Homo-oligomer: A and B are copies of this chain.
Amino acid sequence: MARVKNVIRVTVGDVAELAGVSRSAVSRTFTPGAPVSAGTRERVLSAAKELGYRPNALARSLTQSHTNIVAIVMGEFDNPFQPWMFDALTRHLHRGGKMPMLVTVDSTGDPVEPIFRALDFRVDVLVVAAGSLPDESVAACIESGVPVIMLGRSVETDIVDVVLSDNHMAGAQAATTLINSGHQRLAYVGGSENRLASKERGEGFVQALNGMDCPLSQMVFCGSYSYQSGYEAALSMLTLDKKIDGIFCASDSLAFGVMDAVRDHLGLKIPQDLSVMGMDDVPMSAWPGYGLTTIRQPVNKIAEFVLERIDYWSVPGEKKPVLQRIPTELIVRNSVRLG
């Protein structure tokens, strides 16, 4: 047996010897679908068990066309939605027998080197949380030659999968909720102006509003989804127009910032004086301190779909990327005044 760092590693050879079969036979019993007679299978299995054998995934990967490693490429966790999405993703990957390898791109560091380092391990797929990533990193992923599943951001090419929440639907859901409960002067607080998601959520909101004869009163893009941005946006927006009675934010963290600014600085009560809606439905939204009525991005459904696509890409043949929109859900809590 191979001796590595004080640990004896059991190999196919050891198991073959103990079971009295060839190494091929051992390999086959650990390869689902490979031909092995019940007898040898049993002897191999018992030998393997006795020795504590598990196939070396590295060696196996070297001869196969896949590694079962999936890279998850992310920016910084500057928004509670990201760890939330990330958590759902890793759980689903595990369920699908994949191991997630994490690539975080630092805004200060090299935007592509970490991606290459993951590629060195021949990851099967790059799952890219593109929303929070520098353009160069996104480009590196697309050009990597490895299947890419892009989350929350559309891209110029049509060679990668794109999965997005149905942002127009989300905007419409927010608009309907606010209008149906009698709000009249509405505003939208977006994140980054040049990100599709923020734009689409705003469009969906405005279009639905227009359809109900209630033009949008104010709209501001604050560059990011952060709490801080929401805080500042609320202050400047409500100073400009004190009659606003409902705000839809493009993310929950923006909404939290808006709520705190409104309560602490403007002395308004939520939802009596002003209603606030968010988008994401991170766990914090349910905290009684916020009780945020929001539009849920169904992270589990997104993760499920990602897993489906990983499986799709893993079988050889002609491949067509897709652009998939995942329906959003209205979650009613206490931050919107009722009728």
Question: Which residues of chain A have a CB within 8 Å of any CB of chain B?
Answer: 4-7, 54-59, 61-62, 65, 67, 69, 72, 76-77, 80, 82-84, 86-87, 90-91, 94-95, 97, 99-104, 106, 109, 114, 116-122, 145-146, 227, 231, 256-257, 259-261, 263-264, 284, 287-289, 316
Contact B65 A91 (CB under 8 A): no
**A61-B58, A316-B5 given; A91·B104 CB < 8 A:** yes
Contact B54 A116 (CB under 8 A): yes
Q: Which of B61, B77, B95, B120 contacts A54 (CB 8 A)?
A: B120
Copies of chain A in the complex = 2
Query: How distant is the Cα of A101 from the Cα of B101 in the complex, in angstroms?
Result: 4
Kindly list chain B residues whose C-beta atoms are within 8 Å of the C-beta of A90. Answer: 102, 104
Contact A259 B4 (CB under 8 A): no
Query: How distant is the Cα of A65 from the Cα of B9 in the complex, in angstroms?
Result: 12
Contact B59 A62 (CB under 8 A): yes
Query: How distant is the Cα of A83 from the Cα of B83 in the complex, in angstroms?
Result: 6
Query: How distant is the Cα of A264 from the Cα of B121 in the complex, in angstroms?
Result: 52
Q: Which of B94, B102, B103, B259 contacts A289 (CB 8 A)?
A: B259
**A56-B122, A65-B4, A76-B87 given; A100·B99 CB < 8 A:** no
Kindly list chain B residues whose C-beta atoms are within 8 Å of the C-beta of A83. Answer: 77, 82-83, 86-87
Query: How distant is the Cα of A5 from the Cα of B119 in the complex, in angstroms?
Result: 14
Kindly list chain B residues whose C-beta atoms are within 8 Å of the C-beta of A103. Answer: 94, 99
Q: Which of B4, B77, B80, B91 contacts A106 (CB 8 A)?
A: B91
Q: Which of B59, B65, B94, B119 contacts A104 (CB 8 A)?
A: B94
Contact A120 B56 (CB under 8 A): yes
Complex: chain B residue closest to A316, CB-CB: B5
Query: How distant is the Cα of A257 from the Cα of B259 in the complex, in angstroms?
Result: 17
Q: Which of B67, B104, B260 contacts A287 (CB 8 A)?
A: B260
Kindly list chain B residues whose C-beta atoms are within 8 Å of the C-beta of A260. Answer: 287-289
Complex: chain B residue closest to A88, CB-CB: B77
